[in-house]
Every structure is written in structure tokens, then in C-alpha cells.
Amino acid sequence: MNLPKSYALHQIHHPEVFGFDPNAYSRFKFGDDLVAKAFGEQLANGFITDYLQDNLITNQIVVISSPYSFIPTATFAMKNYFIYQLNHWLVENGGLVVQEAKVHRTVTYKEDYGALSAQERMKLIGNDSFQIDKQFLEDKTLLFLDDIRITGSHERMILKMAEEYKLTNDIHLLYFAELANMDIHPNVENVLNYHYVKSIFDLEDIIKAGSFCFNTRIVKYILNSDSGSFSIFIKNQTEYFINMLYNLALGNGYHTIAAYAANLEDIRKHIIKKKYKLI
């Protein structure tokens, strides 16, 4: 495996100074597609300015978002706009438009990753296994995208996968931000994740803003909320939202997680009741 190159648009050196709006970041993590657009375009522009302008990649580029099973992560939304922006520049500079690939993951967990220490993260994610289509990647330059690098445990899993698959590709690891000061506790990630979203009711204006997209974080957060708050929250959602929430939860195997069982059962009953009324 060739030595991977790493690039982060923002470097975090202070626990309260980020170089970007923490409220916007929090909204992004809970499905605000407008912020995903801004972040994706900013990351593409940064990568172009700081790297591509002087190191044009002439062979086929493949962009790969952070690993997921059925429900995409927040990074997936950012990845879309990163690609649009990068394609504009590549076409204007005689390059090939990018392709996409997916890293498949097998394990799902309810733990909030952002609250864990470096050791706890590695222990949790170490049980996971990542898969990718090696044949499709042959002779291509790979850009692995993620929103933030805190301890590097996800990165280590990606590189472990690359080693296991004996990938000889040029690999770039791209991040919107990275924790550059290792004296800062990794739970700074949760400071960012929950900077705007303090309760389930803070999700309302993100969902109703007209630029919402589901991701793993918001689905897990809703299912993990206390039953009282959950029932008030769910009554304010559209039938489309409720059905999509249920479909995604099942697709990711969340019905097998005990902590989500009661709220999922409430959704199931609601859907059956609605169907019965329609009949």
C-alpha cells in the first residue's frame, strides 16, 4: 500500500475555537442539507487550492464516503456537494469526472461514538469489518471522505481494510476538520455534535427547514429518546417522515437493539393504525 496523504480543511487547536460555526456543524450532523452543501463545497475548494492545483490527478478519481450499512452518515450528504464542486474544477482543467464507491460495514451500535475516549473508540470500532469492491478501484486514485478526524480510529480501520485488500492505489484521507491538539479530550466531538441540538425538540426546525436529509445520527437519536419526549415529537411529524424513520431503522437492524425497541414499537403501531384507517 502506498503511503496515504491526509488533508483537513480546519485544524482544531483549542477546545472552544474551531474555525467554523459549531452550531452549523451540529445541524449538519443532524441532517441539515444546506450546511452539508456549504461544508462539501468548502472542502472541495480547500483541497483544490491546497493540493490539486499543484498536483493535478490525471487518472480516474474515486470518492468514498465514510462507511455505512443501510442509512448513510452525515458525511454522505457532504460528499455529494464535494463531488459536484470537484467535478466543475476537474472538467475545466481537463480532468476526468469522479466515480463513487461505498465502504460496507457490518456492525451497528447504540453507543455515542463522540463521547468515547480513543481507547473506547478503537475497542468499539475494532469489532467492525469494512468491505469494498477492489476490482472497481484498480489503478484509480482514492479519496476517502469524513467530516472530522478526532483520534484516527476510523482512519486506522480504513487503512487496515486497504492493507487486507492489498490496495496499491494512491490514497487521500480528506476531512472537513481534525483535532490537531492531542491534549484536548476526544469528547470535544460531542461538544460539536450537540452544540445546537440539546433535545429532540431542537430537531424540529432542521426537519421543517426544507433541506433535511436522514442520516444514522438523527435516526439513532430519535429512537434513543425517552418515551414521553418521543411521543410528543412524533405527533408533530408527517406520515412520510414517520414511515421513512421506520423503514430506515429496520434497514439498519435497529429493531435488534433493546434500547430502541419501545419507540420502534410505537411507530409500528402508528403505521398499522394508519393503514387500517385508510382501508
Single out the residue in 193, 213, 230 at which a domain terminates.
193
pLDDT band of 187, cuts 50, 70, 90: very high
- In whole angstroms, what is the distance from residue 231 CA to residue 217 CA? 19
How many CB atoms are located within 10 Å of the residue 152 CB? 17
pLDDT in the model for residue 153: 85
Buried residues in 137-146 as b, exposed as e (16+ CB within 10 A): beebbbbbbb
pLDDT in the model for residue 275: 75
The predicted model gives 223-229 an average pLDDT of: 96
175 and 227, same domain (yes or no): no
Task: Please give the mean pLDDT across all residues of the chain.
Answer: 92
pLDDT in the model for residue 106: 76
pLDDT band of 117, cuts 50, 70, 90: low
The answer, yes or no, to whether residue 279 has pLDDT greater than 60, is no
11-39 per-position pLDDT tens digit:
999 999 999 999 999 999 999 999 999 99
- Flag the least confident range among 146-150, 244-248, 272-276: 272-276
Single out the residue in 193, 210, 233 at which a domain terminates.
193
pTM, to two decimals:
0.92
pLDDT in the model for residue 126: 58
188 and 231, same domain (yes or no): no
Q: Which CATH number fits the domain that encloses residue 89?
A: 3.40.50
Sheet of 141-149, strands arranged across:
5-12, 171-179, 141-149, 61-64, 99-101
The answer, yes or no, to whether residue 1 has pLDDT greater than 70, is no
The answer, yes or no, to whether residue 198 has pLDDT greater than 90, is yes
Domain total of the chain: 2
Contact between 8 and 177 (Cβ < 8 Å): yes
Grid coordinates belonging to 102 = 461505498
Residue 279 lies in a domain: no
Give the pairing type, strands 104-105 and 130-131. antiparallel
114 and 189, same domain (yes or no): yes
Give me the domain span that covers residue 134: 5-193
pLDDT in the model for residue 123: 64
114 and 153, same domain (yes or no): yes
**Three-class secondary structure assignment of the chain:** CCCCEEEEEEEECECCECCCCHHHHHHHHCCEHHHHHHHHHHHHHHHHHHHHCCCCCCCCEEEECCCECCCCCHHHHHHHHHHHHHHHHHHHCCCCCCEEECCEECCCCCCCHHHCCHHHHHHHHCCCCEECCHHHHCCCEEEEEEEEECCCHHHHHHHHHHHHCCCCCCEEEEEEEEECCCCCCCCHHHHHHCCCCCCHHHHHHHHHCCCECCCHHHHHHHHCCCHHHHHHHHHCCCHHHHHHHHHHHHHCCHHHCHHHHHHHHHHHHHHHHHHHHHC
61-112 per-position pLDDT tens digit:
999 999 999 999 999 999 999 999 999 999 999 999 999 999 998 766 556 6
Single out the residue in 144, 171, 193 at which a domain terminates.
193
Q: What is the residue whose three cell numbers read 424513520?
A: 245
